[in-house]
Amino acid sequence: MTSKFLRVVLAVAVTFTFSALAQTGSAATPSSSAATPASPAATAPATTTGPSTGTKVGTINITEAIFGSNEGRRDVETLQKKFEPKQAELKSQNDELESLKKQMTTQEGKLNEDALATLKKQIESKQKLFDRAVQDAQEEFGNQQQEIASRVLQKMAPMIVKYSQENGFGMIVDTSKPWPQSNVLWWGEASDITKAVVDAYNVQSGVAAPPSTGAAKPAAPRPGPGAGAAKPPAPKPTEPPK
């Protein structure tokens, strides 16, 4: 059974909205440069070495652990709400662009050359401003998302080490990315400590689980209306290449 490596839905929801607006706004203007969709910034876990009597190899999805924790979910939901006005602003700009492009399409045969040239320049100018605004929003969101991840991981890393040592693990590898993007080809659920670390971190942090927003759920739950706060599912084994 293959694993659908789940992304951080709350964070990606905003970024995907920016990207969708960029693609829609640029579709009718081939000459303009569309904004590149921004992916959530990957956080490199802290590397810790030291004596260990454990021999087992464990796995953890660092991304799910960070944003699956109550603290990570809460902070990303706050970040998403912070960017809602920017989303509305970009949507308004996109709607204006689409209206102008529709006007040019429907009236192209009726406008004289000067009027048509003026309309085209207006569209191109607004398109460039829009694409830049989308790119800036993506970068700003990604940077602030990265700050959240770094802050949570700094506090979570010692707990990962402690849990690993107490449970006989000699090595823990990150499975945030699927093979071949990472060196981990296959692993079993029994080796995964993501949920255990998240549960322990939630107790340590004392942060209560944020209520479900309904629109986008945290920590990689499956989409569905009316569902409550979901716990991050444990990664399943990937299917080795044939």
The whole-number pLDDT of residue 51 equals 58
Is the pLDDT reported for residue 88 higher than 50?
Answer: yes
The whole-number pLDDT of residue 186 equals 87
**168 contacts 54 by C-beta, under 8 angstroms:** yes
Confidence band for 113, pLDDT divided at 50, 70 and 90: confident
The whole-number pLDDT of residue 211 equals 84
Confidence band for 212, pLDDT divided at 50, 70 and 90: low
Q: Determine the average pLDDT of the residues in 62-82.
A: 96
Domain boundaries, the chain: 9-205
- Ranked by mean pLDDT, the top range of 20-34, 147-161, 176-190 is 147-161
Distance CA(134)–CA(241), nearest Å, equals 38
- The structure's pTM equals 0.65
Identify the three-state secondary structure at position 38. Answer: coil
- Least confident stretch, 63-67, 101-105, 108-112: 108-112
Distance CA(70)–CA(198), nearest Å, equals 8
CA distances (Å), origin 102, targets 30, 71, 119: 15, 45, 11
Please state the length of the chain.
242
Angle at 89 between CA 149 and CA 147, to 5 degrees: 10
Confidence band for 55, pLDDT divided at 50, 70 and 90: confident
Is the pLDDT reported for residue 47 higher than 80?
Answer: no
The whole-number pLDDT of residue 48 equals 54
Beta-ladder partners of 174: 60
